[in-house]
Chains A and B, each alone.
Chain A
Amino acid sequence: MGALTKAELAEHLHTELGLSKREAKSMVEAFFEEIRSCLRENEQVKLSGFGNFDLRDKRERPGRNPKTGEEIPISARRVVTFRPGQKLKAQVEDFEGPLTY
Chain B
Amino acid sequence: MTKSELIEQIAMRQPELSVKDVEAAVRIILDDVTDALAEGGRVEIRGFGSFSLHYREPRTGRNPKTGDPVELEGKFVPHFKPGKELREQVNASRALGY
Q: Which of A51-88 contact B (CB under 8 A)?
A: 51, 53, 55, 57, 76-82, 84, 87-88
Q: Is the CB of A41 within 8 A of B98?
A: yes
> How many Cβ-Cβ contacts under 8 Å join chain A to chain B?
173
Residues in chain B within 8 A of chain A (CB atoms): 1-3, 6, 9-10, 13-14, 16-17, 21-22, 24-26, 28-30, 32-53, 55, 75-80, 82, 85-87, 89-94, 98
Partner of A40, one of B48, B75, B90: B90
Known contacts A19-B21, A34-B9; decide if A99 and B87 are in contact (CB<8 Å): no
Q: Is the CB of B37 within 8 A of A92?
A: yes
A contacts with B: majority SS: mixed
Partner of A3, one of B44, B53, B82, B85: B44
- The closest CB in chain B to the CB of A57 belongs to B94
The 8 closest A-B pairs by CB, nearest first: A82-B80, A3-B42, A42-B98, A93-B75, A78-B94, A3-B44, A84-B78, A4-B36
Q: Is the CB of B29 within 8 A of A93?
A: no
- The closest CB in chain B to the CB of A45 belongs to B1
Contacts of A45 in B (CB 8 A): 1, 6
Q: Is the CB of A31 within 8 A of B76?
A: no
Q: Is the CB of A95 within 8 A of B39?
A: yes
Q: Is the CB of B6 within 8 A of A48?
A: no
Contacts of A27 in B (CB 8 A): 10, 14, 17, 21-22, 25
- The closest CB in chain B to the CB of A93 belongs to B75
Over the window 33-53 of chain A, the binary record of Cβ atoms lying under 8 Å from chain B Cβ atoms (1 yes, 0 no) is 011101111111111111101
Q: Is the CB of A13 within 8 A of B28?
A: yes
- The closest CB in chain B to the CB of A56 belongs to B90
Beyond A4-B42, A31-B25, 17 additional contacts (C-beta under 8 Å) are A3-B43, A12-B32, A13-B28, A13-B29, A27-B10, A28-B29, A32-B48, A34-B10, A36-B85, A39-B90, A57-B94, A76-B94, A78-B93, A80-B49, A89-B78, A93-B77, A99-B52
